[in-house]
A = this chain, B = another copy of it.
């Protein structure tokens, strides 16, 4: 039996809204909000940004297409699944196909939607859409921007699971996508 222990909260009241600096990936917004519990007012930071997408791409043999690249936030090389920003007006499924092809040269005949998560609902207004590509194979040349340097690694699914558990694969949005396809509990077996 699930129980609600305390009073349900209400939505906060928007008092005013003001835009700050445009950081390109993010546009800063400040919302002045009133807490319905005590009517006190607070300025809240919001980072407006487009939806994002990432792809769990499995080959016919069940291997996973991953990418290694230098990430500026953590100032180190990371191992992730392909993904990126959904262009304005673009369907997330098309963005997923585009990012997979551009970053890895892989395409796939079978696609299914794995759902979406909020990247950071406290501060950001966007979703990250997760897609599954099956029977993926390398069919194209990659199209890397001048600002990219990406290695493609095709990994056994057990190897992917191990690298998550050991902390080598640790981008939260990548883990969120992978857990829809693999059992990522430390106590689990091979996850398949």
Contact = CB atoms under 8 A, between A and B. Distances in A.
A172 B175 CA distance: 9
Interface string A154-192: 111001000001010011110110011111111010000
Interface in A71-111: 71-78, 80, 104
A45 B68 contact: no
Contacts of A167: 115-116
A69 B23 contact: no
A171 B121 contact: yes
A140 interface: no
Contacts of A1: 156
A2 B122 contact: no
A139 interface: no
Q: How large is the interface on A (under 10, 10 to 19, 20 to 34, 35 or more residues)?
A: 35 or more
Oligomer: number of copies: 2
A123 interface: yes
Contacts of A2: 63, 153-156, 159
Contacts of A9: 68-70, 77, 149-151
B173 A11 contact: no
Interface in A109-129: 115-125, 128
A152 to B, nearest CB: 4
Interface of A: 1-12, 20-21, 23-26, 28, 31, 33, 35-38, 40, 42, 44-47, 63, 68-78, 80, 104, 115-125, 128, 138, 142, 144, 146-156, 159, 165, 167, 170-173, 175-176, 179-186, 188
